[in-house]
Structure 1
Amino acid sequence: MCDYKQSQIPTQAVYETNTQNEDELNDKLQENIWGRLLPIGSAFYRYDLKNDLTTFGRRQDCDYHITKDSPVCVATAYSNVHFKIKREFSIKTGHHALLEDLSTNGTFINGQRLGKGRIQALKNNCEIALSKPENKAFIFIDLDNSDDNIYPKELKNKYTITKTLGKGAYGEVKLAFEKNTCEKYAVKIISKKTFTMNGRHKINLDNQIMSEINILKKLEHPCIIKIKEVIDTNETVFIILELVEGGELFDKIVSIEKYDELTAKFLFYQMVLAIKYLHDQGISHRDLKPENILLTSSETKETLIKVTDFGLSKFFDEFSVMKTFCGTPNYLAPEVLKTKGAAAYSNKIDNWSLGVILYICLVGFPPFSDENPKLSMEEQIIQGVYDFPYDFWSTISNEAIDLIKKLLCVDPDERITLEEVLDHEWLKSSPDTIQKAHDLMFPNGSRKRSNDQVVSSQSQEQSNCKKQKI
């Protein structure tokens, strides 16, 4: 029940050092610490497991005591003794950590309810939730069976690396806890063997890689994932990133089917400002899709967004990157498909991707489909063949449709610029929504809207890019 998919990316290096961090080892020996609970939820705190039996609950004599007047206890129904963790030893198999559920409302291991009176073995990086699966409390760390030996000392000294958060074209992402503060971060692990330039694999790109990543580290925008630090080794790059816990835009759309137009506008405005900021810094995203738009909160639709995985795609084969979403190039611009990613192209490829994302936000499905019997998806994209089916688009404004058409313009020279997007009637027609989004991004009034939004009384004439219909 506790197994996470934690296999390393195929090309990840295994480091020579097999020893634990010296400070951590000394602490463990001096205090007999055999396990650790790292807090996921903000109401919980780190707890070192030293005894063979540890109890958790509201009762005053519990080892981990939740007081009756604490916010977490008021909001959630915990039992007097909610669960206990015991350590057992067998000559044949060694030590094992076991969790016993003693609660009425349940203890969850990796999202699965255990049930009162049931016992489950805990494996390294198991996730423990209390009373309901979304009330995540701890990650269990087995100090006797830690995976730390595969990480370099520079990383282990600062962070405890735990469960896998995801895998993608650029490697694996792990959850990490900073040792001094217990702050949570995401660690992107990228093997240099996967880097390519100009269609050819190259490993000796250290200077160029670090130069590019150092540029990314300097980025400062509320809708851009912040890079905390980078740890570079001979074969692997570890990028420590701000952790965003509200999930992906893709998963949110799947769960709610689609956004209403005002909420889509609220989110899309942030996306445009984030991508425009990257473009102003000379950076193209090149792999923009709903999976790379993260939400800071899952509780509300009107949330701050964070763009991630920007700037790295130039080190990867474009055609392999485009297949990371269901094996299809849903979000790639026509000029990329025409040249198989081999030619130079402008940052307007991101504008095309924004058009696809906006279309999906409004109706819950993409403009291009494998279900067209006459044209493959690639041909639909290259020719700009899509439509706005009446049953789905009849309640959506003409201004929204017009903006999508201008973004999904096959000719990049005629495709609308991001300055023109910000000046488009669809955004300008809802000043309250735009102001609300801006206030969320800059809550202390740290930045005036005029710095981001280009509003011209004599805006350039919009290109009239016509599309074929299916």
Structure 2
Amino acid sequence: MSLIRKRNFTEDDEGSSKRQSAKYETMAKFYNTNPDQQHLILPRKPEGILIGRSSSCDIKITGVDVSSKHSKLSLANNKVRDYFFLTDLSSNGTFVNGAKLGHGSSVLLKSGDKVSFAKTGGVFIFRYLLDEVNEENKKRSLFDDYIVGKQLGSGHYAIVKEAKNRLTGDIVAVKIFHPNKTSKDSQEDEAKLQQEIDLLLSIDHPNIVKFINRYVEPINQHSVSTYLIMEKVNSGELFERIINKSKLREDETKALFKQLLSGLFYLHQKNIIHRDIKPENILLDITPRQSGQQQQTGPWDENEYDIKVKIADFGLAKFIGELQFTNTLCGTPAYVAPEILSNQINYTTKADLWSAGVLLYVCLCGFPPFSDELAPPNMREQILTAKYAFYSPYWDDITDAALDLISSLLVLSPEERYDVTTAADHEWFRESVSQEDMVMDSLDSTSSKNSLQRSSSMGSVQREPLRNNSHPLSFRHKFASELNSLSYQ
């Protein structure tokens, strides 16, 4: 008896394991860490593999604390390859990489996982045979290529975590979409999705977050999750910058917005509509200034040498379904073009220009042009009728050219709205607006504090006083308390 316990399983058990593998294709192995013990062969058995002390188990192991039915291996598929899920059925625990699963809990097994059955049932290293047979051409798992680390943020349909490439050491961001149920009838949808993924992976532009790879991994026997590997941008969102500064200077806004238009031009040339341009989806890659003598690349803050705009999160309707995407937007529609909000199916790239106009408005004054704080009418009706205004005194120090560009973007009819090329060629980008000029303007009471209009070579753009019953709520007042919990979108 003591000899059997020391060996963990008998020669008859080994024979049982081999007979199982003969009946079914061998899919994986448990390699025993005790060199004197046999390895366990794991067949591709559709109904699963029971492991335990009972003679009725598919694989029999012994030990004083091993349960009669200790664990079960179940098959799962991510539309690319099969995987094993390990479920703990025991009283004394099944351990994966030193962590106890707990009775009834399951985990996806990855090659290299260390599995222990209680204290005396043996310690094994798990490995898929596919990973051994064809290392170069195998269909790899995310966990073969990356070590997934800390969470960076979360959103309505995904969380984002940091990950490290096992081969190169590069740090990336991995967007993990909430699970979707598997379906045998979804091959056509999967093919369309893969086309979209291939398009995303082909994108290469300095003002767009780089997409690196996509994986689909099983979550359990019935659900899979999509993992999207992206370039990691370390300096946060434009949204956070607006909150911290209340609003942005006109010169820095111009420099950032010009980069945004450059990224949108690239996307629109490829017939890609972003659909969700907003400050939360504009990431900033900031290079610190090393000394006061280092010449800055733009009108940045004193401690900043360079800022690169990175557009993130575009085309996500293709990942989560058009209906769900639209419903999400309708929950917070401040940036959504009226043609999308009114459920027009055939909207164009002009939808992105409307959203860009809202973003430009927010950067320059610190609050959105459409909000329930400015009701009546409510925000939805404001958007559907393009009802907005430049309120004094918030807009008194902003040039007419900036207001004219916004007015050319927030146009109800997409046909009459600026496209990205026309917007990038606007006079505002040819004007020089220095901080010194803006300070001088603010000291001129006739041109700012007491006036509702400013003149430029373009004529004049009306500034309107606020109604007594309305008050715009700035991003800083609305979201400052949430800075510590901002999502990495």
Scaled by the length of structure 2, the TM-score of the pair is 0.55
Question: Which consecutive unaligned segments of at least 5 residues does structure 2 have?
Answer: 1-27, 35-95, 112-140, 219-223, 289-299, 436-457, 468-489
- Determine the C-alpha separation between the residues in 2 that align with 1:391 and 1:338: 33
Match of 1:420 in 2: 422
Distance 1:20 1:296, change over 3 A: farther
Match of 1:268 in 2: 257
- Report whether the alignment pairs 1:335 with 2:339: yes
Distance 1:428 1:406, change over 3 A: same
Q: 2:165 aligns with which of 170, 174, 178?
A: 178
> Residue 196 of structure 2 contacts residue 318 of structure 2 at CA under 8 Å; is this kept in 1?
no
SS of 1:221's equivalent in the other structure is coil
Distance 1:388 1:145, change over 3 A: farther
SS of 2:180's equivalent in the other structure is helix
1:173 deviates by 1.3
SS of 1:205's equivalent in the other structure is helix
- Determine the C-alpha separation between the residues in 2 that align with 1:163 and 1:21: 29
- Determine the C-alpha separation between the residues in 1 that align with 2:202 and 2:30: 30
- Report whether the alignment pairs 1:212 with 2:196: yes
SS of 2:215's equivalent in the other structure is strand
Amino acid in structure 2 at the alignment position of 1:226: K
1:21 deviates by 12
- Determine the C-alpha separation between the residues in 2 that align with 1:21 and 1:347: 53
Q: 1:252 aligns with which of 241, 253, 262?
A: 241
Correspondence 1:62-461 to 2 at 5 A = 144-145=98-99, 149-150=107-108, 154-191=141-178, 193=180, 205-233=189-217, 235-297=224-286, 301=301, 303-316=307-320, 320-321=324-325, 327-339=331-343, 343-430=345-432
Query: CA-to-partner distance for each residue in 1:307-355, whole Å, 9 max, x for gaps?
Result: 011122244455654665894201000111122xx52111100000000
1:390 deviates by 1.3
- Determine the C-alpha separation between the residues in 1 that align with 2:110 and 2:356: 38
> Residue 293 of structure 1 contacts residue 305 of structure 1 at CA under 8 Å; is this kept in 2?
yes
- Determine the C-alpha separation between the residues in 2 that align with 1:399 and 1:321: 34
Match of 2:123 in 1: none
Query: CA-to-partner distance for each residue in 1:272-295, whole Å, 9 max, x for gaps?
Result: 010110000110001111111001
Amino acid in structure 2 at the alignment position of 1:208: K
Amino acid in structure 2 at the alignment position of 1:329: P
Question: Which consecutive unaligned segments of at least 5 residues does structure 1 have?
Answer: 1-18, 27-141, 196-200, 434-461
Percent identity, please: 37
SS of 1:175's equivalent in the other structure is strand
1:213 deviates by 0.6
SS of 1:182's equivalent in the other structure is coil
Amino acid in structure 1 at the alignment position of 2:307: T
1:227 deviates by 1.1
- Determine the C-alpha separation between the residues in 1 that align with 2:155 and 2:401: 35
> Residue 356 of structure 2 contacts residue 409 of structure 2 at CA under 8 Å; is this kept in 1?
yes
- Determine the C-alpha separation between the residues in 2 that align with 1:146 and 1:395: 63
SS of 2:373's equivalent in the other structure is coil
Distance 1:193 1:202, change over 3 A: farther
- Determine the C-alpha separation between the residues in 2 that align with 1:265 and 1:21: 60
SS of 1:246's equivalent in the other structure is coil
> Residue 251 of structure 2 contacts residue 433 of structure 2 at CA under 8 Å; is this kept in 1?
no
1:180 deviates by 2.4
SS of 1:172's equivalent in the other structure is strand
SS of 2:393's equivalent in the other structure is helix
Larger radius of gyration: 2
1:417 deviates by 1.1
Scaled by the length of structure 1, the TM-score of the pair is 0.57
> Residue 209 of structure 2 contacts residue 312 of structure 2 at CA under 8 Å; is this kept in 1?
yes
- Determine the C-alpha separation between the residues in 2 that align with 1:204 and 1:225: 28
What RMSD in Å do the two structures reach over aligned CA positions? 3.8
Q: Which stretches of structure 1, 4 residues or more, deviate above 6 A after TM superposition?
A: 19-22, 465-470
Amino acid in structure 2 at the alignment position of 1:391: P
Match of 1:33 in 2: none
Match of 2:447 in 1: none
- Determine the C-alpha separation between the residues in 2 that align with 1:20 and 1:371: 63
SS of 2:174's equivalent in the other structure is strand
Distance 1:427 1:348, change over 3 A: same
Amino acid in structure 2 at the alignment position of 1:216: L
SS of 1:303's equivalent in the other structure is strand
